Structures are given as C-alpha cells and as structure tokens.
Amino acid sequence: MPQSTPKPPADTTPPNQKKPAPIGNKPGAAGSKPGPAGNKPGPAGSKPGPAGNKPGPAGNKPGPGGNKPGPNAGKKPAGPAAARGPATASLLPPARGAKLELRHKILALSFVLVVIVPTLVSGWYLYTRAEDQYISTVAFTVRQKEGPSTIDVLGGLTQFTGGGGASDTDIIYDYLRSQDIVTKVDQQTDLRGKFSKAWPQDWVYAFDPEGTIEDLTEYWRKQVVVLYDVSTKLITVEVGAYTAADARDIAIAIFEESSRIINSLSDIAREDATKYAREELIQAQDRLTKARQALTEFRTKTQIVDPSADLAGQMGVLNALQTQLVEALISLDQLAGSAPPNDPRVVQSEKKVAAIRARIAQERAKFGSGGESPMGESYAELMSDYEGLAAQKEFAETTFISAQAAFVAALAEAQRQSRYLAAHIRPALAEASLKPDRPMTILSIFGFAFLGWSIMLLVYYSIRDRR
C-alpha cells in the first residue's frame, strides 16, 4: 500500500511569543540571503523573478533580545508554483489603451478611395455633365379582324389556319430589338444625330456619332425599353432622347415600322391561305380552256356545229323514209288487190318501195361502223369523239365553278383573319425629364462601392487570421 506523507508538527508557540526566523535566513546589514528554495522575503511579500525572489531593502533584522522575525516572517516563499495559484491567476494585467495604428489608417484610406471618391465623382458628373433626357411612351397590341366565316356558309370547301396573336406579338417584340428597325428608323429620323446631341460633354450617356451600326443597336437597346406582358399580349415601348420632340418622333417611327411589319405578315398569311385555292382555280381554268379548245377544233374539222343536232336530222330523214315506205306499201297492197301483177301501176309501186328501202338501208348504214358521214367519217366515231369532248368540257366547267367558289371563300377567310396594330397609348410630348435619375444613381453607386469594399475587407481579415 502507498505510504502517506507525514504531516508537519503543529506550531506550539504561544501567541504572545514571537516566532523565530526561518532556518536559512541570516541577519545582515542589507538583509538575508536566500535559503535553500532561493526565496527571500521582502517588506510586503515576494515577487517571482527570473531566477528567484530577492529581498527588499528592509529585510529581517535581529532585535535586541535575539532574532526577530521580519515583516514577512511566516509567509510562504513565492515561486513558480505560487505564481500558478488561483489567487495570483485571478489578477490579470490591465488591457492597454487602443492606439491608432498603420492598418487603421490604411483601412480608412481604402474606404475613402473605394467608396467616397467614386460616389463624389459620380455625383459631380451627374449634376454637372449629364444632360436631361425625356421619355415618350407608345403601347400597342396585335389585333385580328373578326366576322362570320364564309367557310361555314359554303359547306366547308377548304380549311385554313390563321396565325395566332401570340406568335405575331413575339415577332414584333424581337423586331423592336433588332438591327433592322434601327436602320429603318435611322434613315427616317436621323437617329444618330438625336442620340449624339450631348456628345462629347455627356460621354457616359450620349452616343458617339462615329460608332458603327452595331454600336448604335446596342445603344438603342439602352434608350428604347421594350416591355412585353406575356399574359395580356401588350407591348409598351419607352423611348428616351435629349429633347421631348426627338423622343416623340422616334416613338412614332417605331409604331409605323411595327405596323408595316405586321401588315407584311398579314399579307404573307393571306397569301398562304389563298395559295392552294388559287392554284386549284388556275388548274381548273386551264382544264376548261383546253376542253373548249378541243371541242372547237372538232367542230372546225367536221364542219358540224353540233353532232347531236346533225344526228337528230339524220334520224329525222330515216324516220321520214320509213313513213314513206309504209305509205308505199299500203298503196302497193291496194293496187295488188285490184290490178294484175304486170300492171304498170303495180310495177311503179314496187319500184318505189324498193327505192325507199334502199335509201333506208343507206341511211342506217351511216350510223354503223362502216358508214360514212358527209365528211367521209363514221357517225359512230364522230359521236364517240364528240361525247368524250363534251364530257371533258362538262367536268372542267364543274371543277372550275367549285374552284372559283373555294377561292372566293379562301379570300374572304384570309381577309377576316388579317391582323393590324392597335395603339392604346399614343406618343406624346414629355414635360419633365425622367432620366438620368440622379439621387437613385448616386445611392446605387454608393451601395455597390460599399458592398465591394466590405467584401474586400472581409477577405483580407480572413486571410490574415489564417496565418
């Protein structure tokens, strides 16, 4: 078992009797020499030093009746162990006062250079160099003509699909931001001259007249703000210029160019809607023309205006011969009952009957395959050719009438679906300038500069604390 350390003997010195000086402290003229622990008491206690504690000027001196303990008699020597005690550790040295160091000066200088100076410079430029700009607004939408459809009236001969307003509005929105409209408006209103009136004094907001068309298009997108509401299909255009009249003229030119584009789109849609109907009408008309020409050639060749009428005439001749034959046969029968066979009247009647029969046979032969018309052709072939040409003509006429009705219906439907621009806000002269917004611009510059300076400061201290 571990042995316990024996406790030191209790102090039995009476209270009224002075304790002797500790062993190892010898009186001297200047004080006591350090004992084995190297600690010498001072007048008010001992402070640890690098190599030990030295006594103060008034050490332990011997009294008249022997050795008197000094003022520090009975105190434990101070050393490194005592310095780590709770009483000494609770007494921390007081903090030193803050001083203005070099890093504080650099921090203040950076704030002035990064935040204050840009804000002051921007404010000076905005109030001394930047020119006032005026805003003119125009707002419009793409509308479509409405009315009863003739397609339903004509029984749905054709079907057409017109372009929707959404796609037309999207096209107009892209066109308002394109280089094409910039070129057109520049040719009409001298856009470069209007945008460069403040050059070179206001070199930040004004346009350099020496710039290219690409530079002018980029500047156009800053000065001409196009707002597009997808839900309502409304387009609002805000035009900024250095005079109210210039802003209004540019806005009017924008509306006119947009109207021209939407009209051209409507013409293209109308052309697409009537294209197939027109092609069918042209084909039907060509077919009818060819059928009529073929029938005319047939009549010129056969010298028969109407083979049906000519055939009806031939049939009339045959019918008349048959009637005469019947009458001649009746006369012959009457003579045969009252006169002998060699009677001249009977002979004449028989010759007449034979002649009529021969003529009937010849007339009937004309309608057969071997018969010939007065022009030397067979009536059967003539009628076959004529009926074919007549059928083609009748079909061509019917097709032409249907195609013509379809074209009229397509044209009416295309007219009904034509689009146009309807402006609900007209360009007007502005009375007060709205650009540039100087207070808001200065505040924005200050905010962004301060945010950038704060981020740089945080990055610097973050790197500094990680070293």
pLDDT of residue 238: 93
Cβ count within 10 A of residue 38? 14
Instruction: Assess whether 440 and 330 both reside in one domain.
Output: no
310: containing domain: 283-413
Rounded to whole angstroms, how far apart are CA atoms 133 and 240?
6
pLDDT of residue 311: 61
CATH number of the domain bearing residue 234: 3.30.1890
Tens-binned pLDDT, residue by residue, of the chain (467 aa):
444 444 444 444 444 444 444 444 444 334 444 444 444 444 444 444 444 444 444 444 444 444 444 444 444 444 444 444 444 446 777 766 667 778 888 888 999 999 999 999 999 999 998 889 999 999 998 887 655 444 444 444 334 434 444 478 888 999 999 999 999 999 988 899 999 988 888 888 899 888 899 999 999 999 999 999 888 889 999 999 999 999 999 999 999 999 998 888 888 877 877 888 888 889 999 999 988 888 888 778 777 666 666 666 667 777 888 888 888 888 878 777 777 777 788 778 888 888 888 888 777 776 655 555 555 566 667 777 778 888 888 898 999 999 889 888 888 877 776 778 888 889 988 888 888 889 999 999 999 999 999 999 999 888 888 86
SS3 state at 308:
helix
Instruction: Assess whether 204 and 353 both reside in one domain.
Output: no
Has residue 98 been placed in a domain? no
Cis peptide before 2 (omega within 30 of 0): no
Has residue 319 been placed in a domain? yes
pLDDT of residue 308: 64
Instruction: Assess whether 374 and 290 both reside in one domain.
Output: yes
| The dihedral formed by the CA atoms of 383, 386, 388 and 391, expressed in degrees to the nearest 10 | -120
Cβ count within 10 A of residue 342? 7
Instruction: Assess whether 221 and 320 both reside in one domain.
Output: no
Instruction: Assess whether 296 and 394 both reside in one domain.
Output: yes
Instruction: Assess whether 163 and 142 both reside in one domain.
Output: yes
Q: What domain count does the chain have?
A: 3
Which neighbouring-strand residues pair with 425?
Answer: 139
pLDDT of residue 254: 94
The closest alpha carbon to 240, from 321, 132, 328, 112, belongs to: 132
Instruction: Assess whether 152 and 217 both reside in one domain.
Output: yes
Has residue 64 been placed in a domain? no
Instruction: Assess whether 448 and 431 both reside in one domain.
Output: no
Has residue 251 been placed in a domain? yes
Cβ count within 10 A of residue 115? 20
Instruction: Assess whether 297 and 407 both reside in one domain.
Output: yes
Has residue 31 been placed in a domain? no
Has residue 318 been placed in a domain? yes
Cβ count within 10 A of residue 305? 9
pLDDT of residue 183: 92
pLDDT of residue 375: 52
Has residue 362 been placed in a domain? yes
Has residue 91 been placed in a domain? no
Which amino acid would we find at residue 19?
Answer: K
Instruction: Assess whether 327 and 442 both reside in one domain.
Output: no
Cβ count within 10 A of residue 296? 11
Rounded to whole angstroms, how far apart are CA atoms 278 and 291?
20
Instruction: Assess whether 328 and 408 both reside in one domain.
Output: yes
Instruction: Assess whether 243 and 291 both reside in one domain.
Output: no
Residue in the structure block whose two tokens are 């010939």: 372
